[in-house]
Every structure is written in C-alpha cells, then in structure tokens.
C-alpha cells in the first residue's frame, strides 16, 4: 500500500511527529540543509543575475539517496520543514535535489497532534518568495565574505574574514569600547536625611531647592554639598504633602527569540547559541512552539487553555479577566507566527520527566513567562511624601505588595519599603543627615543579552541570526568575553573594523544593514525580486572594492625586537595574528620558529609538563609554555606554544600546580574545584 512521505529537518522532530501519525505515513529527516554554495569558490555568477551554483555536501549525499528511494515508493511527498525563510529554503532545496514534481508543503508552529492534523488538511505549495529571500541573504553574505576577505588578507594579514552582518556587530562592540576609553567621570553629590516618626525610621532624598527640581549633577563637589548641610543645620523637617495611591505592575509579554535569549543570559548565563540549541530540542520534542520568531501573537486555543489553568490552579482572581493580547512593535514581524510559549499550557515544569536539566530551566522560564502574561497585574500600595526643611524639599517613597498577581508565577525584582503613617504638617525628627559622593559611569560593555537587544533594536539580522552572529565574531577572535562575561574587542578586531569602516562604510553601517533587511523583507513579501536586491548591493560595492585595492596601503603590523631566534640565530620580530601577538623568526618561511609574547592574555605562563619531562639540557632543549588557543570552530583549548614540536593539549584550563598523587598538571573543573588532568588519577580538591 502506498504511503505518504513526510520530510523534516531533524531526527528528533521526525521521532516526535511519528507519534501523532499512523502507519500511512513514513517520517524521514533531511538532517538539515541538503544543498549549499560550494565551500572553496564564490559559487555565484555575478555577471549573470547572480545565478548560484548549488552543490550537495558530501555528508548529505547518502541522505539524498535514501530520500530519493523513499519518495519513489511514496504516493506523495510532504515537506514539513520549519515555518520560516530558512525552513522554506530547505523545502525548496529538497524539491530540487529530489526532483519532486508537486510536493505538498505543510507548516506548523508547534509539534502537537492537533497542529499537525490541521496542517495536513491545509497543504500548500512552496512559497518561493520566502525561499528567494533566504537565497538573497545567502548570496549577499557569500559575496561579502568572499570579496572582502581576500582584501583583508592583502591589506592586513592572512586568515582574516568579514561578514555582512557580523562586521556590524563587531563595530558596535569596538565603538562602545572607544566610548569607555574616552569617558571622563563627573563627580556629583546626593543628600539624604534619615528621619523618624515615633519609633519608625525612614530615608528621604533631597530633590528640590527653592521649589526648583535639582538636576542629578546639580551638586558638583564636596564644598557645595557641605554648604547645603550647613544651610540645613538646626532645621525642622515638616511633612508638606502625602500622596497615597494604588499602583499596578503588569506582566511582560511572552517571549520572542530576542527576549528569550536576553532572559536566559540574565538568569542562567546561557549563551545565545546554547539557548537556541536547548529551545530547538524543546520544540522538536513537542514541548514549546517554534522558537525563531519576532511575533507576540498568541493563538485563541492557547489563550483559552491559559485561562482554564490559571483559574483552576490559582483562583479566578489571578486570571487577567480577559485574554491579554500583545502587539508586536517591530514593523517586519511575522504575525502569522506565535510568540514562544509551551505547546500545552497545562504541562507544568514539574510534570516533565527525564529531561535535560538545562532544557528544564529554559522550559520553566518559557512556561512561567507565558502563564504570567495572562494573569492579573501585581498591585502595590504606594506612598510618596514631600518633606520641607527651610527652602529645601526632600522626598520619601514607600511601596508594599497588596496582591501578588502574576508575581506568583513569574517573579521579578521589586523592593518593599515601609513608611510610617505620615500626615501633612507632621514634625519629623532628624536622626542623621548625609552627603554622598557619586561619579557618573560610562556605558557598560555589551553582554550577549544587551548585544542581542541592540541588534534587534536596529533591525540588524533576524531572530534566527542572533546566535550565529555572536558565535562567529568570537570564533574569528575579533571579540572575547572578559571575566564579567562582557565583550571586549581584540587588537585585530579593532584593526579590521577600522579598515572596514573607513573603506567599506556601507558594509558596516547600521542603517544600511537595517535597510538591507527591509529589502529582504520586501522579497519575502513578493514586493521585490531577489536579483534586484543583490544588484542594488553589489553594483556600488564592486566598484568601491576595485578602487580600494588600488588606494589602500598594507598595514604594517610587524615590530622589531632585540630577541634572537633560538633555532637559527636570526632576529625575532613581533607579529599580530588572529590569536593575538606572537614572536616569529624574521627568516620565515625558511625558519618557522614562533613563541608567545610574555604578558599576552593567552599566555598562561605555565610550564608545559610534556616538554619539561622530555627536554635534553645537553642539547639546549627549552621548555614550552601553555597558552590558550582556539579550534577552527572557536572552541578554546590549552596547548604548548612549541607546537607542532610538542603536542601537549588540554580542554580544561590548567593551573600552575601539580597533582600530589601522580605529578600530572591540575585543571579547573569549576570555580570551586580543581582535579588531576590524568584520567587514571582520582585526585581533586576544593579551591
């Protein structure tokens, strides 16, 4: 009997869908993309309407062969890839690679039985507008990468690369760093009074002088602050006015991709990449709706389910009283999508069994945020009192929680401050009067959360691109995270950024990049063609690139030193590479000796145990030192700086201490524990 073949992107998604469909369906996975531009060439014919050259990657050939056999046996083929541009593109590439004539296309934003059955009843054709918008993005990214990277090799150093969107992110980080470097702190002072009514003390802050509001920086130095303290000497503190009111704090909307990444970083320090990976599994296993979205839309079914759950679990007064619908601010948001929510609102985090702990943390966050979004506001009793002392006015604010509302499910920070029962003309006792020195602070360096927020604010990239953008700029070593998990540009990142800003402003211009996103949106909506989008960018870009090859001089990144090469006796020079500064023999390529620069942040200054054990002092052998390195995919490891002569390496960060049991080097397992790097040794200790 003929069956329907359903093709999805991942085995996990296939396994989940199989639970809902009967024996009339065969579910297979494409394991992601099945066609792409070739790796070792541009793969785009810029002279002939940007015709792309697609190839089937080696790893996908076996999958394609199997899918061809299955589709030949099937009565019909259904493409059920994700409902975004990338998913539409994968569906189109499957159609082309498998030579399918009339495949059905179904989409759903949650992997539930009802959603899949509904999708099967309303199949459609592949939306070529969406597929072509994704194709235009891929081609533009390839053009920038393949055209500018060789320019950087020639003008700066080999191994560098540029990206249409990633380079804008680097620019944001570099410009923030320069703001911080140029920042000059301003001194300012605040005045606070510790007052008492009966036996209850509270604090009030100076806000006015002569009934005129004081600016934050109004009191500039200690002399001005002391003058105010002198003026207030022996003053009476009389309550001038009291305002009591009930205030409401509304819940936040359910998550979009951007806000989920921000919240997951803030609460758990999950990277954007980790958050998306965990969310992918939650989606594929049928626990949440589609996780790549910029929409705040919610289905009627989910609103009804939330109402029932809240009313039954917490009481009718905890429900908002009517379904709460949120309006998406972004003009380019895809309202056909939903916000990220639990697929089943009544599936509490406690009910999930045998789930990865990190997945459970993220699911709990998503579930709480969605349920809270449909709950009643939190209600506070607020009091504000203005207190006169001569010609100065102080203000005291109080707040107490009256009804927790949505805070019962999704707690956010708030502070309760209790004031005594103040009334007009109350004469208060002064316990203490303080002047407090402050200094203005520069804008903080970007974290993953704040960078994602900024990218979204300026319309740079789309929900599916935030995590790859951040991963890429770190893998290229253009930026790194400091101990506070904030982004700091590398020396090479700054140099590359400056060259791009000066010579290719359109590539790294925030407004221009956002405008390109709008043009791609136009292609997706059928208002523009993908060829025009590519041509609008490439024509002026190619002309400028040709001119810059002639105009721009090569950057001199070499510094002379007084060091001598231990191998050949030639002078050592200091070079700047992708991984920072290093010493190299001036006779390269005849002599390939290199060593790390003392004081370089990647140099751990720890003696390599393998070199030390095997060195022959009679031959002048030197011991190497351990340095932090990165794999091609950006993963950090720790190896000897004498590589390839010494291949010692560790994944965990070593410390300058040997194991007392076996003399192997000790490594950090976490902030509190170190253990032996020798897998056969069980030594560990608390730090």
* Half-sphere exposure in the Cβ direction for 341 (13 Å, CA): 27
Q: Are strands 187-197 and 427-439 parallel, antiparallel or unpaired?
A: antiparallel
Using an 8 Å Cβ cutoff, are 10 and 32 in contact? yes
Rg (CA), the chain: 31
Q: How far is CA 613 from CA 176, 485, 606, 626, 678, in A?
A: 46, 36, 14, 14, 15
Between CA 494 and CA 491 the distance in angstroms is 5
My answer on whether omega of the bond before 589 falls inside 30° of 0, hence cis, is yes
Q: Is 283 a catalytic residue?
A: no
Residue with structure tokens 């509302």? 405
In degrees rounded to 5, what are phi and psi of residue 550? -85, -35
Length of the chain: 687
Using an 8 Å Cβ cutoff, are 338 and 84 in contact? no
Between CA 307 and CA 259 the distance in angstroms is 23
- Number of other residues whose CB lies within 10 A of the CB of residue 350: 8
My answer on whether omega of the bond before 644 falls inside 30° of 0, hence cis, is yes
Between CA 296 and CA 275 the distance in angstroms is 19
Between CA 371 and CA 308 the distance in angstroms is 11
* Local structure of 384: helix, strand or coil: strand
Between CA 456 and CA 458 the distance in angstroms is 5
The catalytically annotated residue of 188, 290, 406, 466 is 290
Q: Report DSSP letters for 94-157, one per residue.
A: HHHHHT-SS-EE---SB-SHHHHHHHHHS-B---HHHHHHHHHHHHHHHHHHHHHHHHHHHHT-
- Number of other residues whose CB lies within 10 A of the CB of residue 208: 15
Structure tokens at 362: 């993220």
* Local structure of 180: helix, strand or coil: helix
* Local structure of 20: helix, strand or coil: helix
DSSP helix, strand, coil percent of the chain (3-state; round to 5):
35, 25, 40
What secondary structure letter does DSSP report for 336? Answer: T
Using an 8 Å Cβ cutoff, are 405 and 318 in contact? yes
Q: Is 455 left (phi over 0), alpha (psi -120 to 50) or beta?
A: alpha
What secondary structure letter does DSSP report for 633? Answer: T
Instruction: Give the residue numbers marked as catalytic.
Output: 290
């Amino acid at each position: 009997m003929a069956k329907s073949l359903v093709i999805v992107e991942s085995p996990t998604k296939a396994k989940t869908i199989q639970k809902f469909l009967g024996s009339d369906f065969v579910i297979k996975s494409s394991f992601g993309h099945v066609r792409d531009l070739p790796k070792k060439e541009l793969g785009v014919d810029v002279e002939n309407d940007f015709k792309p050259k697609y190839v089937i990657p080696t790893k996908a050939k076996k999958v394609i062969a199997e899918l061809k056999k299955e589709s030949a046996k099937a009565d019909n083929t259904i493409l059920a890839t994700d409902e975004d541009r990338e998913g539409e593109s994968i569906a189109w590439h499957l159609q082309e690679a498998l030579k399918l004539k009339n495949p059905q296309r179904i989409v759903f934003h949650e992997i539930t039985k009802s959603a899949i059955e509904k999708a099967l009843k309303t199949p459609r054709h592949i939306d070529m507008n969406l597929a072509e918008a994704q194709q235009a993005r891929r081609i533009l990214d390839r053009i920038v990468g393949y055209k500018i990277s060789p320019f950087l090799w020639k003008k700066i150093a080999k191994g560098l690369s540029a990206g249409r969107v990633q380079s804008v992110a680097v620019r944001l980080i570099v410009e923030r760093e320069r703001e911080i470097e140029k920042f000059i702190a301003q001194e300012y002072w605040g005045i606070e009074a510790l007052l008492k009514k009966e036996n209850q003390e509270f604090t009030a802050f100076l806000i006015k002088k002569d009934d005129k509001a004081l600016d934050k920086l109004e009191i500039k130095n200690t002399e001005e602050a002391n003058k105010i303290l002198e003026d207030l000497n022996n003053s009476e503190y009389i309550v001038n006015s009291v305002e009591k009111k009930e205030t409401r704090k509304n819940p936040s909307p359910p998550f979009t991709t951007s806000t989920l990444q921000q919240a997951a970083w803030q609460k758990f320090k999950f990277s954007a990449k980790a958050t998306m990976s965990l969310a992918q599994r939650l989606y594929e296993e049928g626990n949440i709706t589609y996780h790549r979205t910029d929409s705040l839309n919610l289905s009627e079914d989910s609103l009804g389910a939330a109402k029932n759950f809240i009313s039954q679990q917490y009481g009718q007064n905890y429900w908002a009283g009517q379904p709460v619908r949120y309006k998406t601010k972004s003009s380019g948001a895809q309202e056909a999508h939903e916000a990220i929510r639990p697929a089943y609102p009544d599936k509490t985090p406690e009910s999930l069994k045998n789930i990865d702990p990190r997945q459970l943390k993220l699911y709990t966050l998503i579930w709480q945020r969605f349920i809270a979004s449909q709950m009643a506001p939190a209600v506070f009793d607020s009091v504000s009192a203005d207190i006169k002392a001569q010609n100065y006015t102080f203000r005291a604010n109080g707040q107490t929680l009256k009804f927790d509302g949505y805070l019962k499910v999704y707690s956010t920070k708030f502070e309760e401050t209790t004031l005594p029962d103040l009334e007009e003309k109350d004469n208060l006792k002064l316990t203490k009067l303080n002047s407090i020195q402050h200094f203005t602070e520069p804008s903080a360096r970007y974290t993953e959360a704040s960078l994602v927020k900024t990218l979204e604010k300026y319309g740079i990239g789309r929900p599916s691109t935030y995590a790859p953008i951040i991963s890429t700029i770190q893998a290229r070593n253009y930026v790194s995270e400091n101990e506070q998990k904030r982004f700091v540009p590398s020396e090479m990142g700054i140099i590359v950024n400056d060259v791009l800003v000066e010579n290719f402003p359109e590539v790294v211009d925030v407004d221009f990049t956002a405008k390109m996103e709008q043009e791609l949106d136009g292609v997706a909506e059928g208002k523009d063609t993908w060829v025009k989008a590519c041509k609008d960018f490439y024509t002026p870009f190619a002309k400028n690139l040709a001119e810059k090859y002639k105009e721009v001089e090569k950057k001199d990144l070499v510094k002379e030193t007084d060091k001598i090469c231990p191998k050949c006796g030639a002078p050592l020079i200091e070079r700047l590479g992708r991984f920072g500064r290093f010493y190299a023999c001036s006779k390269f390529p005849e002599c390939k000796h290199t060593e790390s620069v003392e004081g370089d942040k990647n140099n751990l200054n720890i003696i390599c145990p393998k070199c030390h054990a095997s060195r022959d002092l009679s031959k002048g052998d030197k011991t190497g030192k351990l340095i932090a390195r990165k794999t091609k995919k950006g993963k950090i490891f720790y190896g000897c700086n004498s590589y390839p002569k010494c291949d010692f390496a560790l994944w965990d960060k070593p410390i300058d201490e040997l194991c007392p049991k076996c003399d192997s080097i000790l490594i950090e397992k976490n902030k509190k524990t170190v253990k032996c790097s020798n897998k056969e040794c069980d030594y560990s200790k608390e730090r």
